[in-house]
Structure 1
């Protein structure tokens, strides 16, 4: 395998994971960031992102001399044969991805790139970005490639090194071949396409998953109405090879740094081109409906038929958008919390990845505690929002004694209903019948 010299611009989830993984494949990698404090931390192996296996991979790269960190893109690209752009592309006012950071990087490095090098967009970018970058570069000797990432937070290292596929899009065959060489140590099919097709793939995949999640959440609502069990329904669905079992778990809605942004971006692109995409639009609307539906249910369980929760204390278990990450971006837990607070609820929350010291990152109406049992103290209901594994082993008898009403709303069907029932708690899952407290022995 030929070893390359690579520059990675941006050290967020995508950039840091890509840099560390490429170094683990034997390449020489220089990662750049604008924040000198962050660069110094990473240079010491101090990874502040909660991501399984990433700190160890970064440290291994540093120890082997194949990974280093610098301030600014200019220092990183000198001598690099391949340059990855991994900067943020947040949602703009029109719903489309904001390419300000991508444009700034291209402008900064365009004259510094080595002849016959390749510039790769790893960030999620709208269709047409490769053509836009090519025009901005004005460098016919530099190839431009779209190499979209398909990383899930919490499993990004394994997703990079053991992917379902590697997608490489370019209108320059030699540039695509050069990027394909970087993945020679990865056992996965490599899909070579034109740049526009590769850019569509990323949005197409995430929007399909969003549609699937919204579908199963609506199916769960239907199951509640007819007395069916969503778990049995999705088990049967998942055994159909045309459907598969992934992304068939109901919950409080989908969120995170990708699905909300990418669905809005695809809709923005479609709208700009006059293409109607009602399926994705409906998936977004269905997702927003989840927080209202769950809040209505909590209000009914707390004894208020009109939906008000004024002065009612609610405990929340989990704030991040899913377990295994400390990311709060577009978290469905926070969306639900905002709806509960709007109705007047007093919120006390716990999350193992969000200590009370991070309270400044949260809305002021959420009181964060460092012990999950404290979230239940005096609450009229305890609501599980994020599926952290250790929540299954809480002291439910203690929680039952501390709750004002013996009600647990499990938005992810994560807890053991029998264990809660034995402790004297009523378990209310999603898309299934509630389990009442076990009778007390006389």
Structure 2
């Protein structure tokens, strides 16, 4: 099939590249000329494992093109994929300005029968607004469908090519058949539904996963007070098929481009129909507070943080991505600086993106993990990069001025810590906190 993908962010670029890899003729469109120039030269504006290689493969095969010319791309395509950003407004609502502008441009360019497939995450009712807008600007038959994405940054290609399910929401039978044909090579698990339900499925899915994360973090906080180990608790919960083991890893909370934005948007969607979504509000509140446990534990160890040097390992909101949107590191570092601490930070990939969003704060950015940790009063691990997990704790101890370690992602084990002198705090593992790592001995009967 001939596809035009409008928007080359995470969703648009990965979707377009993967559809081309399935044998479709794909043109990716973006207004930013620098981004298109970069992509044409084989460079990738985002960090996503395997994406650069897949772009080269399909560009060389002639199945993948990049352009700023939306009109030409739309005219050539059977299916137009809307993957434009819908960032949050100050009140938490989704900003639909960009997607509506793109929809109008598409409408003005169509010259025949087309399908507009929305992959952007949009509030319930948005696709109806898109349809009304399109019909105002063209007499050509255009079918509208909502096909939300469920990819995760860091594993986006794998998630796109091997999805758990595909959701297709449309009231147009011909468009439905065409979209089934497009997606069948990916999975047999295709759910057909109306547009509004498809829009809600995306929000409901992300809100539920965010709820699991906040729930296990609350359990972790209780574990620290009662002497239980959250990793064992989560393991025991995960064996229950009704619960499952995913998203039950305690830490410093979720971040990124989806969960924070989508939970706030769903709260606003509920509010617009006079429903107070108390549960989701609590999920957001718990997630925000969780990241400050790092500060509280540092103060437990060091007392007044003024003048103390704190090393930060990890700026991205998760490993295998350079995305720093709503990363916990922002608020943690800002809070440290407000307390008078000196901050040295390192991330394998995301440092430059982080700098752009924190220009006004005095942070020392380091080229290596060792440089960040050297002579620091404490080290805080905020992202579970493999590099950090594989670094010798003996080396880390030798780099630090004092052996204080806050493990915000529970990446170190008792075995790794056994021969060290760390004052160590993790999340929900009290038997390993404060340098006391011995398990309670089993009683003999």
Q: TM-score range by the shorter chain?
A: over 0.9
- Using structure 1 for the length normalisation, give the TM-score: 0.94
User: In the TM superposition, what are the counterparts of 1:108-257 in structure 2 within 5 Å?
Assistant: 108-138=105-135, 139=139, 141-257=141-257
Give SS of 1:135's match.
helix
Give SS of 2:42's match.
coil
Residue 355 of structure 1: how far off its partner (Å): 4.5
Map of 2:96 onto structure 1: 99
Map of 2:337 onto structure 1: 341
Residue 368 of structure 1: how far off its partner (Å): 1.1
**Higher alpha-carbon deviation: 38-47 or 81-90:** 38-47
Residue 292 of structure 1: how far off its partner (Å): 2.4
1:67 aligns with 2:64: yes
Distance 2:437 2:368 in 1: 26
Map of 2:442 onto structure 1: none
**Higher alpha-carbon deviation: 317-326 or 135-144:** 135-144
1:6 aligns with 2:3: yes
Map of 1:38 onto structure 2: 35
Map of 2:441 onto structure 1: none
1:354 aligns with 2:326: no
Structure 2 gaps of 5+ residues are 439-445
Give SS of 1:408's match.
strand
Q: Contact 2:3–2:25 at 8 Å: present in 1 too? A: yes
Map of 1:49 onto structure 2: 46
Per-residue CA deviation, residues 405-431 of structure 1 (Å, 9 max, x unaligned), is 211111111123432341332332110
Distance 1:185 1:270, change over 3 A: same
Q: Contact 2:315–2:351 at 8 Å: present in 1 too? A: no
Distance 1:403 1:37 in 2: 42
Residue 122 of structure 1: how far off its partner (Å): 0.7
Distance 1:77 1:242 in 2: 44
Structure 1 gaps of 5+ residues are none
Give 2:311's match in structure 1, choosing from 308, 315, 326.
315
1:20 aligns with 2:17: yes
Give SS of 1:120's match.
strand
- Using structure 2 for the length normalisation, give the TM-score: 0.93
Per-residue CA deviation, residues 237-277 of structure 1 (Å, 9 max, x unaligned), is 00000000000001111100000000000001111110111
Distance 1:354 1:111, change over 3 A: closer
Give SS of 1:422's match.
coil
Q: Contact 2:112–2:140 at 8 Å: present in 1 too? A: no
1:385 aligns with 2:416: no
Map of 1:284 onto structure 2: 284
Residue 39 of structure 1: how far off its partner (Å): 0.8
Map of 1:329 onto structure 2: 325
Q: Contact 1:356–1:369 at 8 Å: present in 2 too? A: no
User: In the TM superposition, what are the counterparts of 1:388-399 in structure 2 within 5 Å?
Assistant: 388-399=385-396
Map of 2:364 onto structure 1: 367
Distance 1:358 1:238 in 2: 34
Give SS of 1:341's match.
helix
Distance 1:15 1:235, change over 3 A: same
Distance 1:281 1:22, change over 3 A: same
Structure 1 runs (4+) greater than 4 angstroms displaced: 355-358
